[in-house]
């Protein structure tokens, strides 16, 4: 099996990156984490990636004239490294439509809400303020509009009366770490297609965590 060379893009802590790195250690995992890229030189996740023996790259966005210059450099590095798949994992930068198109259906993102509800920032605060009973996370293909694109996996968690944003966020994060590796596995194994902007999964059972509300 030729493992798909995968780049993980981060801006901070990198806990989803760590979940992908751990999953990719399994011999039958169809992707290898070949590169971790951060747009912030002090992202904590960089140290974690280096400790795991993964090649890292810092592209400090402040050193680029504009968004397109940053994206052109990022794209060039991804190509030099023969990357097949890009995973955005807490990468807090808007990408240009040009870059998104170049990686169409090969770039995925994790977002801490049940999209299309609550795109953008502060999703846990907003879920509590809206009074929703369920919240969760989504892995989706990246499209030019922020936090949009064909949905691969979602996991739902209950919102409890005493929840703070931090408590709810931790409950969601545990599920992020389950569905992101599952989505990468599916994409890298070629068992998924996008048809009319909806994801069709071939012959694959959804992991139980992705379709039922897990225990709190």
Binding of residue 15 to ligand GAR (CB under 6 A): yes
Closer by beta carbon to ligand GAR, 90 or else 149: 90
Segment contacting ligand GAR (CB under 6 A): 8-16, 51-59, 71-79, 128-136? 8-16
Subset of 84-143 contacting ligand GAR (CB under 6 A): 89-90, 110-112
Q: Is there a contact between 119 and 111 (Cβ–Cβ < 8 Å)?
A: yes
Closer by beta carbon to ligand GAR, 147 or else 163: 147
Residue 111 designated active-site? yes
Please choose, from the candidates 152, 170, 142, 175, the residue with its C-alpha nearest in 3D space to the C-alpha of residue 7.
142
Which residue out of 77, 111, 135, 140 is catalytically annotated?
A: 111
Subset of 138-197 contacting ligand GAR (CB under 6 A): 147, 173, 176
- Please report, as ranges, the residues that interact with ligand GAR according to CB under 6 A: 10, 12-16, 45, 89-90, 110-112, 147, 173, 176
Active site members: 111
């Amino acid at each position: 099996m030729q493992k798909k060379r995968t780049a993980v893009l981060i801006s901070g802590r990198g806990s989803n990156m760590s979940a992908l790195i751990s999953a990719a250690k399994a011999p039958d995992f169809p992707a290898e984490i070949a590169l971790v890229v951060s747009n912030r030189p002090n992202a904590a996740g960089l140290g974690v990636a280096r400790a795991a023996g993964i090649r890292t790259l810092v592209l400090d966005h402040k050193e680029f004239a504009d968004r397109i210059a940053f994206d052109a450099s990022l794209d060039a590095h991804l190509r030099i490294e023969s990357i097949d798949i890009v995973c955005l994992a807490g990468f807090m930068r808007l990408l240009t439509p040009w870059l998104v198109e170049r990686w169409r259906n090969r770039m995925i993102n994790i977002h801490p809400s049940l999209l299309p509800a609550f795109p953008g920032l502060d999703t846990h605060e907003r879920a509590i303020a809206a009074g929703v009973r369920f919240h969760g996370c989504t892995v989706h293909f990246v499209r030019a509009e922020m936090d949009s694109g064909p949905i691969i996996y979602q996991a739902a968690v209950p919102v409890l009366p005493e929840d703070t944003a931090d408590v709810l966020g931790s409950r969601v994060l545990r599920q992020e770490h389950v569905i992101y590796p599952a989505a990468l596995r599916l994409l890298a194994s070629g068992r998924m297609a996008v048809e009319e902007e909806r994801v069709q999964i071939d012959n694959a059972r959804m992991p139980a965590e992705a379709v039922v509300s897990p225990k709190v």
